[in-house]
Chains A and B, each alone.
Chain A
Amino acid sequence: MATAEAHRSAGIGKDLAVYLCLLVLAGLQFVIARQNIDASQMLWRMLAVAIVEAGLAVRFFMHLGTEKRGFALFVVIFTVFVLLAMQYGWTDSSRMVIGAPFSK
């Protein structure tokens, strides 16, 4: 945990700044929710904000940025790959709503 040590001794200022950023971003999601836009646009905007929030939390609160580079890459690449692989079923979900039959 030696590499994370320098980061931790940097003072509380950075943690507070990240916390305030997260609060603002969380607030932004609530603002987006009140906008008069269609659900898919709202979803993409909120997801974008959530991904930025998650990035900040992982980088600064969970200190992944100060871990060994190989480990950080392992976590990010593995996780993102599986998350993307989970998205394969959306076309079937849309098929359900338009009532199209299964292909023969």
Chain B
Amino acid sequence: MSQADLTVDEHSTGLTIGPVFSIPTKKLAMWLFIIADTMTFAACLVAYGFVRNGSPDWPRPFHSITNVALMTFILLTSSLTMLLALRSARMGDKAAAFRWTMITAAAGILFAILHVREWMALISEGMTLFKNPWGTGLFGASFFTVTGLHLTHVTGGIVALIVVGVRYKGGRYNADDLEILGLYWHFVDLVWMFVVPLVYLLNLAH
């Protein structure tokens, strides 16, 4: 074997030893997805801020913060229940892990229902993607885009929680899979922390 072959061999061995950053592949994939998704949400929020800053007749249609406060509470609490699911799974308590995962999914469903109710109220007041009775039509487009993207993520998360929870209970998935799903769910919660002040609270009617 020549020196060149040895060098190539060392390199190829070096490239295949263990996962990158010593993190399991599925978990790394979820982190990379989260980074990419962060960019998507950030781009939407920056675009929203851009048109809001550039529009003199930007509407402030929100009179009550009760609904959005309740939604925030539910989503934050669902992050805690997700942590409890993972903790139970790590301790080997499958029944509790499944129960907490389903409670998290139920909280997600409740959040989605409140979100849709909020949308329906705005639509009934005459707001669409392109026009609204209060000011620039860009408001509807940016509001529905940002909140719709988040709601899509919540909906996907609910489906994933149910599927992974059931498969975990059935023995096809393990605690690591629940942890990876938890990363996604916490990320959805994290994004909401920025959506609330930028899209709702800055547009409260005074």
Cβ A87 vs Cβ B46 within 8 A: yes
Cβ A46 vs Cβ B27 within 8 A: no
The interface residues of chain B, by DSSP majority, are classed as helix
| A57 touches which of B49, B72, B189, B198 (Cβ 8 Å) | B189
A22 and B84 in contact, given A33-B204, A50-B193 (Cβ under 8 angstroms): no
Closest approach, in angstroms, between the C-beta of A56 and any C-beta of chain B? 10
Cβ A94 vs Cβ B31 within 8 A: no
Complex Cα–Cα for A36 and B196 (A): 18
Cβ B80 vs Cβ A50 within 8 A: no
Number of chain B residues whose Cβ lies closer than 8 Å to a Cβ of chain A: 49
Residues of A within 8 A of B202 (CB): 33, 39, 42-43, 46
Residues of B within 8 A of A43 (CB): 197-198, 202
Tell me which residues from 173 to 199 in chain B have a Cβ below 8 Å from any Cβ of chain A. Answer: 176, 179, 182-183, 186-187, 189-190, 193-194, 196-198
Complex Cα–Cα for A103 and B109 (A): 50
Complex Cα–Cα for A97 and B87 (A): 51
Q: Which A residues are within 8 Å of any B CB, using their own CB?
A: 1, 5, 8-9, 12, 15-16, 19, 22-23, 26, 29-30, 32-34, 36, 39, 42-43, 46-47, 49-50, 53-54, 57-58, 61-62, 67-68, 70-71, 74-75, 78-79, 82-83, 86-87, 89-90, 92-97
Q: Which B residues are within 8 Å of any A CB, using their own CB?
A: 21-24, 27, 31, 35, 38-39, 42-43, 46, 49-51, 53-56, 65, 69, 72-73, 76-77, 79-80, 83-84, 86-87, 90, 176, 179, 182-183, 186-187, 189-190, 193-194, 196-198, 201-202, 204, 206
